[in-house]
Structure formats: structure tokens, C-alpha cells
């Protein structure tokens, strides 16, 4: 299994060692991503440390996505989904909850602090809540300092790359 | 190997040369070769074993004396922990046309790879100083070099991290399993000798999940839902029913087939030694995803209670694959 060395590390803008935490956020298409959109159109400010990846459902977030984010240099991972009972696909978020509960045990045993991995139910109208969760998480992860694990811990960190696409 | 341009090799041994070597492993993989039983005579008849430290008296300098690529294949079992293992992996890579990771430890890191939950210092301290049965008044720790009456004595260095074989050298094929079963060993050897090898990098076992070949497949419910995880010693296991349906943590849904469901035949759940199928990058991540999905509750506290019945999450889901997982080892302490 050769390593995917061609893929850039998480967070081209916040260079490793810059002290800025890098957080990967998986937001579901129907609730949390809309909340993030609303936060934007409402001109709500929150820290720029989050890289948002939209998935159709929080249930689409394979634990491997979370592990890969940490392995590639994320300091925290946030999953946002619809409130229980509100899932567009009936029960995707319940599966997310169960996987999250088991994955956090694995991450804990691997030395990753619980504050670095978070699951939040944020509905389409809760832009304020999104802002609050991100602000809180960035501060908590910043206080913990950079995470050194996976490829990021073994290979010397590559210099920050310029983003290719505009 | 015989020169293909020579119609009839005169003195050269026409039999291809192979080597077996062990690194960080328990010896079970060597046992598996012997378990070929009378089948081993076919192998010995077809090849010339040039190096097999556990069984034959060849030394490292015998390997060094070979021409590069003189060996058709080297079968290496065990993970890589020490500098000696790393050197031997590089040496055999250079001398071999094909390098085959033999067994779960070489393939994925294996059980020795669980040592990646600890760092080098704490392992040495536990083993040589703190363990209750250790009597080491002088607090001696292994050194890579030591002088006794002016003569240097050396030991291999002990790395911080256990690695799978392909994290050290390029590997051509993988034989999965703890240990690989006689059936897949024989199948692989025959395919290699017949020149019918699959594309490089392949795992020499079917690319389907174990459930696919499980004799209890028909008793697996359409929709699995587990409200209580039980361990094999806590229940009387029904011999005909899907183990997951009985609440036993069977990793068959996430594990590659090819073993013939031997453990399940013995009424024991699959622990995942064949590793993932080709479509999965991180075995443990996929396995825990499959298991969490069938927990029969949507309530946070209840889910927590049910999942708490699974002991040792890393040891369960990464039993054979921690070094080859995405995270590889426990996080380094903040600097």
C-alpha cells in the first residue's frame, strides 16, 4: 500500500508550525452546510481555521475520512449533521452518532484528545450555533497545540504550497 | 535462474531459488510452511531453498554472495522493528526478483504492531526495569554496542515504530493471514512457479469479504441489529447461526475472504487477520464503521452502553493492522 505522497497536506494556507490550528469540517448538505451558508450571507464572523467539506449526509462520513484528515495534518475534525429525527435520509445521522462514539474511543487510545473530534447537530437555521461551535473548537484545539500523528508526525512537514486553483 | 537463451542448461541448477526469512513475528508463519504437510515435498521438489534460517544452516553471507536478483522469490514474514530486520529486508529485496510479504505481520504490521501504542522508551523501561518479574539491579538496558575486554559486542538497534514490510522495501505480493493457510500458500506458490502471477502489488487471496464464503451466510439476517455484544466465553454459541446475529463481534464483514472461515468453523468470530479488501485503505476504520452501524439504538447513552461492551477498541479493530493504518502509531506528545 504505497502512501499517497502526491496529495497536499491539509491546510495550504495555515502552514505547519504557524500556530494556527487546522480543522477539517464535514458538513451535511441539508442542514449544517446550509447553516454555514447562512452564516456567510448573514455576515457572521468566525475563525478562518476550518476547511469545510460538503457531504450529502453526515452518514456519508466514513471513519476513514476522519482518520485520513488527522493523518494528513488536521489538528481537529468536526462533523456537522441534522438534528436527530431531522435527517434527510431518515437515519443517516444516527449511524454517524454510533460511528462517532466508537471512533472517538479509538482516537482516545491513539492519544488524540477528545476536543479534537466533535460531532454537532446544527440545523439550516442555526448559523449562530455554527459560529459558536467553530469559535469554541478553534480555541480548544489551539490550546492543545498541533497534533503530531500519522504521516504528519513521521515525514518532515512540507513547506506550505501555494494554492493552484484560484 | 537458468539463462533462457541456453537450450539445455548443463551444470546450472534449473530449479528456481527461493528464500524464507522472519522478522518481528512469532514463528507461526514458519509453522504454516511446514503445515503444507506432504505438499511441502512438491515445493521442495520444484525449488531450491537458498536461505531459511529457521530450518536450514545458511548465513547472511551466503545471501550476500548471491548475484542480485538471483532468487526467484523471497518470502518474508514478520513486521520490521530492528535495524537487523530492516537490513535483511533490503538485502533480500536486492537479491530477489519477487518479494512476498508473508502473513499478517509483514502484510499489515500484525500483532507486534500494537506496540505502536507505546513509545520505545516506555517499552524498554517496562521490559527491562519495571516488570514485576524483572531482576535487573544494575538497571542494564540493551545497548547497540558494548565492549567486553576490549572486544566490541553489538546488538541491532530498536526502532521507535513497528512497520509493515512495504513501509521499508517495495513488496510485489502479499500473502495475508495469521498465519496464511496452506491452501493460499500452495495456490500462490503454484501461480508464481507457473508464471501466472497477478498484477504486482496484489494480495494473493479473493477480493471479497469473508461473509461471502462463510458457511453461516444464509443465517445472516437482512438487517443486523445488535443490542448486546457478548464475548465467546460468556455464551453458548449456536453452531449454525451468523455470529453477529448472536451478538458476537465477528469482523467478517470487513475482512478479506480466502481463509475458508476457519475460525468461524471453530465457533470463534473472525478477528480480521486477512486484512481489508482492495477498496479499503484503513482496516480498523472500516471495521469499526461496520460494527457501529449495526448497534441497535439511536439513543446516545444507550449506544455508549452497548459499545462499552467491546473491550479495547484499538486491539479489537486494529489487531493486525496498526502500523499500516492511517494513523500508524499513537500521537507523539506535544513538544
- Res B81: pLDDT: 96
pLDDT at position B14 over 60: yes
Distances (CA, A) of A163 to A11, A12, A76, B136, B185: 10, 7, 21, 57, 48
Q: Which of B293, B318, B331 sits opposite A148 (nearest CB)?
A: B331
- Does an H or E element contain B105, and which? helix B104-108
- Phi-psi map region of B78: left, alpha, beta (phi>0 left; psi -120 to 50 alpha): left
Region B258-278: mean pLDDT is: 97
Quote the ipTM score: 0.91
Region A13-35: mean pLDDT is: 85
Whole-number percent of chain B with pLDDT over 90: 85
pLDDT at position B3 over 90: no
Q: Which of A2, A63, A147 sits opposite B288 (nearest CB)?
A: A63
DSSP at A104: H
Region A64-93: mean pLDDT is: 96
Q: Which of A64, A101, A151 sits opposite B285 (nearest CB)?
A: A64
Per-residue confidence at A165, pLDDT binned at 50, 70, 90? very low
Q: Answer whether residue A14 is part of any domain.
A: no
Higher pLDDT, B332 or B73: B73
pLDDT at position B103 over 80: yes
- Res B191: pLDDT: 87
- Angle in degrees, 0-180, between the axes of helices A63-71 and B283-293, rounded to the nearest 10: 150
Q: Which of A64, A94, A109 sits opposite B117 (nearest CB)?
A: A109
pLDDT at position B98 over 70: yes
Cell of A58: 453526515
- Res A19: pLDDT: 77
**Domain count of the fold of chain A:** 1
- Res B36: pLDDT: 83
Most distant CA pair in chain B: distance in Å? 76
Q: Do B281 and A112 touch (CB under 8 A)?
A: no
Q: Answer whether residue A39 is part of any domain.
A: yes
Query: Is A144 near chain B, with CB under 8 Å?
Result: yes
- Res B334: pLDDT: 55
Residues B244-257: pLDDT tens digits? 999 999 999 999 99
Per-residue confidence at B335, pLDDT binned at 50, 70, 90? very low
Q: Which domain range does residue A40 map to?
A: 23-126+134-150
- Res A148: pLDDT: 86
* A147 contacts in chain B (CB < 8 Å): 331
Domains of chain B, earliest start first: 17-111+161-193 (3.40.50.700), 120-159 (no CATH), 210-317 (no CATH)
- Phi-psi map region of A113: left, alpha, beta (phi>0 left; psi -120 to 50 alpha): beta
- CA–CA dist B127, B94 (Å, integer): 35
Q: Answer whether residue A3 is part of any domain.
A: no
Chain B residue with CA closest to A3: the answer is B167
Of the spans A119-123, B29-33, B189-193, which averages the highest pLDDT?
A119-123
Region A137-158: mean pLDDT is: 77
pLDDT at position A160 over 60: no
Q: Answer whether residue A84 is part of any domain.
A: yes
Q: Which of A68, A101, A145 sits opposite B304 (nearest CB)?
A: A101
Choose from A102, A118, A140, A145 for mutation: most chain B CBs within 10 A.
A102
Whole-number percent of chain A with pLDDT over 90: 77
CA B101, B105, B109, B112 torsion-angle sign: negative
Q: Do B334 and A146 touch (CB under 8 A)?
A: yes
* B118 contacts in chain A (CB < 8 Å): none
b/e A129-160 (16+ beta carbons within 10 angstroms → b): bbbebbeebbebbbebebbbbbbbbbeeeeeb
- Res A69: pLDDT: 97
Q: B166, A1 in Cβ contact below 8 A?
A: yes
Q: How far is B281 from chain A (nearest CA, A)?
A: 8
Higher pLDDT, A18 or B260: B260
Q: Answer whether residue A45 is part of any domain.
A: yes
- Res B12: pLDDT: 56
Residues B200-224: pLDDT tens digits? 999 999 999 999 999 999 999 999 9
Residues B305-322: pLDDT tens digits? 999 999 999 999 999 999
Q: In this structure, what is the dihedral angle of CA atoms B3, B5, B11, B15, given to the nearest 10 degrees?
A: 50
Chain A residue with CA closest to B200: the answer is A1
Per-residue confidence at A154, pLDDT binned at 50, 70, 90? low
Q: B261, B214 in Cβ contact below 8 A?
A: yes
pLDDT at position A27 over 60: yes
- CA–CA dist B205, B259 (Å, integer): 8
- Res A161: pLDDT: 37
Query: Is A97 near chain B, with CB under 8 Å?
Result: yes
pLDDT at position A12 over 80: no
User: Which pTM does this prediction carry?
Assistant: 0.90
Amino acid at each position: 500500500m504505497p502512501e499517497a505522497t502526491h496529495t497536499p497536506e491539509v491546510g495550504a494556507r495555515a502552514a505547519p508550525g504557524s500556530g494556527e490550528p487546522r480543522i477539517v469540517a464535514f458538513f451535511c448538505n441539508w442542514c449544517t452546510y446550509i447553516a454555514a451558508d447562512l452564516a456567510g450571507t448573514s455576515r457572521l464572523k468566525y475563525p478562518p481555521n476550518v476547511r469545510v467539506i460538503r457531504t450529502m449526509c453526515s452518514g456519508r462520513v466514513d471513519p476513514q475520512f476522519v482518520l485520513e484528515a488527522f493523518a494528513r495534518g488536521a489538528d481537529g475534525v468536526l462533523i456537522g449533521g441534522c438534528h436527530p429525527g431531522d435527517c434527510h435520509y431518515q437515519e443517516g445521522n444516527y449511524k454517524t452518532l454510533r460511528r462517532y462514539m466508537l471512533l472517538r474511543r479509538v482516537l482516545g487510545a491513539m492519544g488524540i484528545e477528545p476536543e479534537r473530534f466533535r460531532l454537532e447537530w446544527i440545523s439550516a437555521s442555526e448559523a449562530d450555533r455554527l459560529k459558536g461551535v467553530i469559535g469554541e473548537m478553534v480555541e480548544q484545539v489551539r490550546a492543545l497545540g498541533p497534533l503530531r500523528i500519522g504521516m504528519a508526525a513521521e515525514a518532515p512537514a512540507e513547506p506550505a504550497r501555494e494554492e493552484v486553483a484560484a | 535462474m537458468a539463462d533462457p537463451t541456453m537450450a539445455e542448461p548443463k551444470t546450472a541448477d534449473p530449479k528456481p531459488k527461493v528464500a524464507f526469512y522472519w522478522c518481528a513475528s512469532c514463528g507461526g508463519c514458519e509453522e504454516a510452511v511446514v503445515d503444507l504437510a506432504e505438499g511441502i515435498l512438491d515445493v521442495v521438489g520444484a525449488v531450491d531453498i537458498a536461505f531459511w534460517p529457521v530450518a536450514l544452516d545458511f548465513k547472511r553471507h551466503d545471501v550476500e554472495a548471491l548475484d542480485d536478483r538471483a532468487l526467484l522469490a523471497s518470502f518474508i514474514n514478520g513486521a520490521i522493528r530492528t535495524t537487523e530486520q530492516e537490513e535483511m529486508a533490503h538485502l533480500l529485496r536486492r537479491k530477489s526478483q519477487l518479494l512476498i510479504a508473508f502473513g499478517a505481520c509483514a502484510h499489515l504490521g500484525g500483532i507486534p504492531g500494537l506496540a505502536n501504542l507505546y513509545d520505545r522508551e516506555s517499552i524498554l523501561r517496562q521490559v527491562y526495569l519495571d516488570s514485576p518479574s524483572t531482576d535487573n539491579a544494575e538497571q542494564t538496558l540493551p545497548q547497540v554496542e558494548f565492549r567486553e575486554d576490549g572486544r566490541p559486542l553489538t546488538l541491532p538497534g530498536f526502532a521507535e515504530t513497528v512497520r509493515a514490510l512495504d513501509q521499508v522495501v517495495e513488496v510485489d505480493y502479499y500473502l495475508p493471514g495469521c498465519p496464511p493457510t496452506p491452501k493460499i500458500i500452495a495456490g500462490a506458490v503454484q501461480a508464481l512457479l507457473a508464471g501466472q502471477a497477478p498484477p504486482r502489488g496484489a494480495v494473493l487471496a479473493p477480493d471479497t469479504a469473508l461473509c461471502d464464503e462463510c458457511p453461516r451466510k444464509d443465517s445472516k439476517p437482512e438487517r443486523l441489529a445488535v443490542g448486546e455484544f457478548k464475548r465467546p466465553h460468556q455464551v453458548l454459541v449456536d453452531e449454525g447461526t451468523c455470529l453477529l446475529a448472536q451478538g458476537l463481534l465477528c469482523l467478517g464483514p470487513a475482512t478479506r475472504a480466502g481463509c475458508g472461515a476457519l475460525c468461524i468453523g471453530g465457533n470463534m468470530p473472525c478477528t480480521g487477520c486477512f486484512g481489508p479488501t482492495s477498496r479499503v485503505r484503513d482496516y480498523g476504520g472500516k471495521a469499526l464503521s461496520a460494527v457501529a452501524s449495526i448497534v441497535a439504538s439511536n439513543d446516545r447513552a444507550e449506544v455508549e452502553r452497548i459499545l462499552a461492551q467491546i473491550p479495547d477498541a484499538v486491539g479489537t479493530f486494529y489487531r493486525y493492522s496498526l502500523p499500516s493504518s492511517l494513523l500508524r502509531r499513537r500521537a507523539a506528545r506535544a513538544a
